[in-house]
Amino acid sequence: MESARSKSLWIAASLLILVWTAFPILWIVMLSFKTPSEVGNVQGFFPKDWTWENYETVFKTDLFTSALINSIGISLIATLIGVVFATLVAYAIARLEFPGKKIILSFALAIAMFPVVSLVGPLFDLWRNIGLYDTWPGLIIPYISFALPLAIWTLSAFFREIPWEMEQAAQVDGATNWQAFRKVIVPLAAPGVFTAAILTFFFCWNDFVFGISLTSTDNARPVPAALAFFTGESYFEQPTTAICAAAVVVTVPVVIIVLAFQRRIVAGLTSGAVKG
Amino acid sequence: MAAITMKNIVKQYGDGFPAVNDVSLDVQDGEFMILVGPSGCGKSTLLRMIVGLEDITAGEMVIGDRVVNKVAPRERNLSMVFQNYALYPHLTVYENIAFPLRLAKTSNEEVQRRVNQTAELLELTEHLERKPANLSGGQRQRVAMGRAIVRQADAFLFDEPLSNLDAKLRGQMRTEISRLQRRLGVTTVYVTHDQTEAMTLGDRVAVLRRGVLQQVGSPRELYEEPVNLFVAGFIGSPSMNFLPASVDGSFLETPLGRFELRDERKIEAVGDRSVVLVGIRPEHFEDVSLVGEEKKARGSIVRAQVDVTEWLGNELYAYVPYEAPEDLAAQLRDLSRELDSDQLRTQAVVALDAASLISPGREAELWIDTTKVHIFDPATGDNLTRDEERVEQLGRMAEDSRAAQREAQRGPADDETGASVAES
């Protein structure tokens, strides 16, 4: 009986948390299906007339489509470069003994804790002087440097989990250090690499502060920043519904990525590597 | 194939602790050498120095005719089976076995031919497309072996390869490894702490203690003529009984009773020592009622209080507690702790014929085969009664039987897959 009661308690608690977290999202989704005039005039959670109008508006706006391209491009490039760097660094930290290992790790941690906002001002000046202002690299560089620490910490934890014998076996089998790393360690660390990639991607995708401060035109402005400049269909109406539609559009990839990669992460490739 | 020669090998860790201390050992071409000792004796470290995963602090490691102290593992052309197998979980069994060949840029047809041959030899053919995670312990072990034998390595190195298998499987794999090694005739160094493996597999066995090599010899030599207390106690199960004894002419006064040494050589070896340790293996005791007259005359009879008996069907173990002088008791306790057994009380273990009707709690008459008794110096632990003539004879015997076995294996094996895997 005890277990049945605790089970129902668990379910109740889970439901509560689910509602708590899902409600704002659902609200945004509902708003995105309302007509612009309905907001503030008609009461009710669900739209009176369901409409795709807002989505059409969003995709017709150059501001949004170019921002979407910017966001995707910048996030992907930053993720790719960041993860490659982080993999190499994390491997070195997990496997090699070298002076300054501790310093690198604590430095990475310090960067992760550094307040982003305090860097925006100097960066703005610097970027304008060297011509990186309002360009893709101008965003990619700070994204990488702020995403690296987290990726390094995640990945080095993963590398430490891999039995060292794997690599030694490869070396005895005739592999160079690089071959052992590429053919044995990286495939085994794949779940970790994916985790790090997802975290980095989300960091870049969700960033607002850099996005709005270091860009001024469609050249490089990412979606979160672009949303703030959104005017909607008509100047006489609040663009709330259109902004909500845009928010839903940029949330969808995040949800898809999580669902797609979750299985890879959970798959736990290392099972069966050593004795059962 | 190659011989491995170690000259005064030392391994010192950062804190100055010598894990391996001044070990010199010759492994002949095609020989099966066992490194054995209690945990922490440096046997695995020594193996890892041979393969190159551990730096050598001092000394010289020669494989074939090449000094390999500074040679990377991949250039030593050795293959190794790890204790936890270290299979690559992301590759199929086929690719696991093919891995060393792929690294050597072997052509695809050649890879296929060799992997299939190896798989057939190890009965893995139907598992080639599976991943290691879906295999049983024994199958994983065979895959690890396959990866080791698929290329022509100069030597095989095994690091406690059977310790993760259950007892039954371990027995099977043990015979399998032995057969495979004789068939391929490749120099093999095998690390284990299991003395059954040590005794049954090796042409020769090297016993290590705290990084120092104690004795190298055929299993029979180690058993019959150990050089010191440590080897005597380590080899044999249950281990040898060490009884403190005071010397009285040709008589020895032990806690179990008084008996006579009838061997001039042994009496001489004792010299003028007043206290010695007498080593008697459990199987050199017998229930008096089961000993024939002729045999009885060969040994001595003692009376002892039996504490506990264990009847195993094929034999009977009887435990005989005894009192020992404090200093010797402490020394014996240290020794047993070092042998990983941690015996709490001083007691003699006696292995008797299963037909014996000795019961616990009673006094029993035990016959001791005094011709097989060894006498140790309590201070140094050295065996005073080691028979050098016998050692030499045993060495020659082992050498002869090895040669004969090689000869017998070489003939029929030529047209079989095993030989061609090794020689092609």
* Contact between chains at B135 and A272 (C-beta distance less than 8 A): yes
Residues B24 and B128 in one domain: yes
Mean pLDDT calculated for residue range B81-90: 87
User: Is residue B317 located within the same domain as residue B259?
Assistant: yes
HSE-CB of B315 using CA atoms within 13 angstroms? 13
Q: Between the CA of residue A245 and those of A211, A242, A250, what are the distances in Å?
A: 20, 5, 9
Q: What is the pairing mode between strands B347-353 and B315-321?
A: antiparallel
Q: Quick check: is A263 in a domain?
A: no
Most A CBs within 10 Å, among B45, B50, B74, to test the A interface: B74
Using DSSP, state whether B351 is helix, strand or coil. strand
Nearest CA to B68 out of B155, B190, B188 is that of: B155
Chain B residues with CB under 8 Å of A163 CB are: 84, 86
Residues 6+ apart with CB under 8 A from B116: B125
Residues 167 through 196 of chain A touching chain B, CB cutoff 8 Å: 168-176, 179, 183-184, 187-188, 190
* Nearest Cα residue to B373 out of B219, B270, B238: B270
Output the six-digit token pair for B340.
């990983």
My answer on whether B212 and B264 are in the same domain is no
The sheet with strand B308-311 has its strands ordered as B308-311, B315-321, B347-353
**A263 band by pLDDT with thresholds 50, 70 and 90:** low
Domain count, chain A: 1
Which residues in chain B touch residue A272, judged by CB atoms under 8 angstroms apart? 87, 89, 131-135, 140
Contact (CB, 8 A) for B371 and B263: yes
Domain shared by B49 and B166, yes or no: yes
| Closest residue, chain B, to A191 (C-alpha) | B90
Q: Which class for A245: exposed (0-12), middle (13-18), buried (19 or more C-beta within 10 A)?
A: buried
Q: Return the percentage of chain B with pLDDT > 90, whole number.
A: 9
Specify if B413 maps to a domain.
no
B contacts of A171 (beta carbons < 8 Å) = 52-53, 72-74
Greatest alpha-carbon pair distance for chain B in Å reads 77
Q: Name every chain B residue with its beta carbon within 8 A of the beta carbon of A165.
A: 82-84, 86
pLDDT value for A54: 83
> Is B391 domain-assigned?
no
Note whether B115 and B98 are within 8 A (CB): yes
Q: How far is CA B320 from the centre of its chain?
A: 28
User: Cis before residue A253, ω within 30 degrees of 0?
Assistant: no
Over residues A176-217, the pLDDT tens digits come to: 888 888 888 888 888 788 888 888 888 888 888 888 888 888
Q: Which of A172, A175, A274 sits opposite B80 (nearest CB)?
A: A172
Range of the domain at B333: 238-385
Residue B190 parent element (H or E):
strand B187-192
Same domain, residue pair B118 and B152: yes
Interface test with B, best of A162, A167, A173, A177 (most B CBs within 10 A): A173
Cβ-contact B365, B290 below 8 angstroms: no
Q: Band of the pLDDT at A165, cuts 50, 70, 90?
A: confident
Task: Give the angle B352-B358-B363 at the CA atoms, nearest 5°.
Answer: 115
Which helix (H) or strand (E) segment is B12 a member of? strand B4-12
Residues B235 and B226: their CA atoms lie apart, in Å, by 9
Same structural domain, B137 and B242: no
What mean pLDDT value characterizes chain A? 83
Question: Distance between terminal CA atoms of chain B?
Answer: 13
In the block, residue with structure tokens 């055929």 = B218
What dihedral angle (degrees, nearest 10) is formed by the CA atoms of A176, A178, A180, A186? 180
**Domain end among B191, B224, B257:** B224
pLDDT tens column, A64-101: 888 888 899 999 999 999 999 999 998 888 888 888 88
* Structural contact between residues B55 and A144, judged by C-beta atoms closer than 8 angstroms: no
pLDDT of residue B33: 92
Residue B423 above 50 pLDDT? Answer: no
Asked if the model's pLDDT at residue B8 lies above 50, the reply is: yes
Distance CA A74, CA A67 (A): 10
The interface pTM score, or ipTM, of the predicted complex is: 0.77
Neighbours of B52 (CB within 10 A): 24
The number of domains in chain B is: 2
Q: How many CA atoms lie within 13 A of B103 on its CB side?
A: 25
State the Cα–Cα distance between residues B390 and A253, nearest whole angstrom: 81
| Mean pLDDT over the full length of chain B | 85
Residue A105 within a domain: yes
Q: Which residues of A touch B52 (CB under 8 A)?
A: 171-172
Name residues 37-66 of chain A within 8 A of B (Cβ). none
Q: Give the phi and the psi of residue B110 in degrees, each rounded to 5.
A: -65, -45
Specify burial of residue B244 (Cβ count, 10 A radius: 0-12, 13-18, 19+).
Answer: buried
Specify whether B46 is located in the same domain as B92.
yes
A86 interfacial to chain B (CB closer than 8 Å)? no
In the predicted model, is pLDDT for residue B407 greater than 80? Answer: no
B136: amino acid identity, one letter: S
For residues B215 and B284, membership in a common domain is answered with no
User: How many distinct helices (H) and strands (E) make up chain A?
Assistant: 13, 0
Q: Does residue A13 form part of some domain?
A: no
Asked if residue B105 has pLDDT above 90, the reply is no
Instruction: Please report, for the domain that includes residue B346, its CATH number.
Output: 2.40.50.140
Judge if B264 and B363 occupy the same domain. Answer: yes
Region B121-146 average pLDDT: 87
**Do B204 and B257 fall into the same domain?**
no
- Check CB contact under 8 Å for A176 and B133: no
Closest CA to B20 of B51, B2, B44: B44
Examine residue B415 and state whether it is found in any structural domain, yes or no: no
Beta bridge partners of B25: B6
Contacts B87 to A, Cβ<8 Å: 272-273
Is residue B107 domain-shared with residue B203, that is, in the same domain?
yes
- The pLDDT, as a whole number, for residue A273 is 40
* Among the partner residues A172, A183, A269, nearest to B89 by beta-carbon distance: A269
pLDDT-wise least confident of A16-20, A266-270, B204-208: A266-270
Task: Establish if A181 belongs to a structural domain.
Answer: yes
- DSSP-assigned beta bridge partners for residue B351: B317
Q: For residue B68, which amino acid is it? A: V
Is B419 within the bounds of a domain? Answer: no
pLDDT score of A16 more than 90: yes
Q: How far apart are CA B324 and CA B335, in angstroms?
A: 14
Are residue B192 and residue B254 in the same domain, yes or no? Answer: no
A28 assigned to some structural domain: no
Check CB contact under 8 Å for B134 and A163: no
Write down the residue that tokens 């435990």 correspond to: B319
Flag whether A190 is in a domain.
yes
Q: Which of B245, B282, B283, B284 is nearest to B266 (CA)?
A: B245
Which tokens sit at B335? 């020794």
For residue A235, name the pLDDT band (cuts at 50, 70, 90): low
Task: Tell me whether residues A173 and B87 touch, CB distance under 8 A.
Answer: no
B79, B83, B89 ranked by CB distance to A271: nearest? B89
Q: Residue B191's pLDDT is what?
A: 93
Please state, in angstroms and rounded to a whole number, the distance separating the CA atoms of residues B242 and B347: 9
Task: Check B80 against A275: CB less than 8 A apart.
Answer: no
* C-alpha–C-alpha distance, residues B326 and A93, integer Å: 53
Residues 6+ apart with CB under 8 A from B136: A276
CATH number at residue A149: 1.10.3720.10
* A234 found inside a domain: no
CATH of the domain at B197: 3.40.50.300
Taking the Cβ of residue B73 and every Cβ of chain A, the question of whether any pair is shorter than 8 Å is answered with: yes
Q: Name the residue with tokens 């928010």.
A: A247
Q: Of the candidates B79, B83, B132, which has its C-beta nearest A172's C-beta?
A: B79
Q: Examine residue A43 and state whether it is found in any structural domain, yes or no.
A: no
From B198, B224, B250, the end of a domain falls on B224
Q: What is the interface size between A and B, counted as CB pairs within 8 Å?
A: 85
Can you give the residue range of the structural domain that contains A153?
62-229
Distance CA A75, CA A257 (A): 13
Which pLDDT band, with edges at 50, 70 and 90, does B421 fall under?
very low
Q: Is the pLDDT of residue A264 over 70?
A: no
Which residues share a beta bridge with B242? B279
Please name the residue of chain A whose CA is at the shortest distance from the CA of residue B130.
A272
> Of A56-60, B53-57, B102-106, which range is least confident?
A56-60
Please tell me the predicted confidence (pLDDT) of residue A274: 41
